[in-house]
Structure formats: C-alpha cells, structure tokens
Chain A
Amino acid sequence: AQSVTQLDSQVPVFEEAPVELRCNYSSSVSVYLFWYVQYPNQGLQLLLKYLSGSTLVKGINGFEAEFNKSQTSFHLRKPSVHISDTAEYFCAVNQPGRRALTFGSGTRLQVQP
C-alpha cells in the first residue's frame, strides 16, 4: 500500500525567505508524485508533478520539487516566498494500476511580513 507523510503541519516563514515543505512517501513500486496548493475555501490547484525523467521538477508560482528515490522524498521548495503564497500545500502519490491519488495531511505555509 502507498502512503504519504508530510512531516510539518505548519511552517511559518518571513516574506522573501526560502522555504522547504517536506514530503515522504512509501511504496514498493514506481510512483507518480504531485504537489497541490489550496487557498482558503477553494479547491486544490496542481503546482507540479513528477512522472519520470529529471528529478528536479519546476512548477507554477516559482515552486520546484526534487524527487529522491533513495530517500523516498519529494520536497517542495521556493527560494523567496510572498505573502500570497500563504496556503495549504498537499503532497500526493499514485502508482501504476491505482485509480486515485493518496494525499498527505497537508502543510499550512504562513508567510509573515
């Protein structure tokens, strides 16, 4: 069975500082990995995805993530955050043969001025 762990429930950070949101997964087979962002009272928006190939994936809004197979991680990073990045971020995993994503419990990013 696949599972996703987001180690930090909340990450406070000052504006223009770098940030890393951690995600670890467990699966016995190859996986596909996703990061989503959720602004208050809205649905989830896809930030980026890793399917295969280059382990560094660039997404929207200046975010990027790196797939590390040996550490089974897919951490999300941004070199300089804005107030508007304040939101909930979800890591998700799928594997061949499954029809639905498995989501982590989410990390609330709070950007302070």
Chain B
Amino acid sequence: SQTIHQWPATLVQPVGSPLSLECTVEGTSNPNLYWYRQAAGRGLQLLFYSVGIGQISSEVPQNLSASRPQDRQFILSSKKLLLSDSGFYLCAWSLKGLDNQPQHFGDGTRLSIL
C-alpha cells in the first residue's frame, strides 16, 4: 500500500531563517505531488504541484519554492522566512492520468515563525 511521510512534524523558526520541509511517498511511482498551506481557522491553499521530476507549477506568488529532485520526493523551501509563513503545511499525492483521483495527505508540518 501507499504511504506518505512528512517531516518534521513541528518546527519553530526565527524570521529571516531558511526553511526546508520534506515529503516522500512510498508504494507508487510517478505520482502527482502537492504542497498546501492551511492558515489557522482557514481552508487549504494550494501552493505548488508537480507532475514529474523537476516539473513544478506555482499557484500563488510567495516567499516559498518547491523542488522535486526524485520521483517520490517533494521539498518545500524558503531562503528567508516571514512571519506570514506560519501555518500548517500539508503534502499530498495522487495517481497520475485520471482527474477523478482523490489526493492523499501526509500528517502535516506545523510551522511557527517567531
């Protein structure tokens, strides 16, 4: 069966510091991968999605970037964090080829910026 792992589970960082959140998927090949942010009391905002290695689409302009160095690895980064980057970050995957496939989520990373 497929599993998705995100780490770390929680992170406290000072303003201006760099960020790297990692997500890996096991048990499937060539998945679509997604990064979402969930601000407190709000819904999910799609940040990035990827259909393959090195292929990243950005949904909103922001202080963050994403990379996909390997088929089942998706990394969310920032060179300098802002206070507004605080939130709950979720990685997800879905099967490729069919638009009716659900997305499957990791357990998330809670990021607090001080």
Contacts and interface: CB of A to CB of B under 8 A. Distances in A.
Contact of B103 (A97, A98, A101): A101
Secondary structure call for the A interface: loop
Contacts, number: 53
Nearest to A44: B105
A3 to B, nearest CB: 11
Interface stretch (B11-19, B39-47, B61-69, B76-84): B39-47
Given A103-B44, A106-B43, A45 B99 contact: no
A17 B57 CA distance: 44
Given A41-B108, A41-B110, A34 B43 contact: no
Contacts of B42: 105-106
B102 A99 contact: no
Interface of A: 32, 34, 36, 41-46, 49, 51, 90, 94-101, 103-106
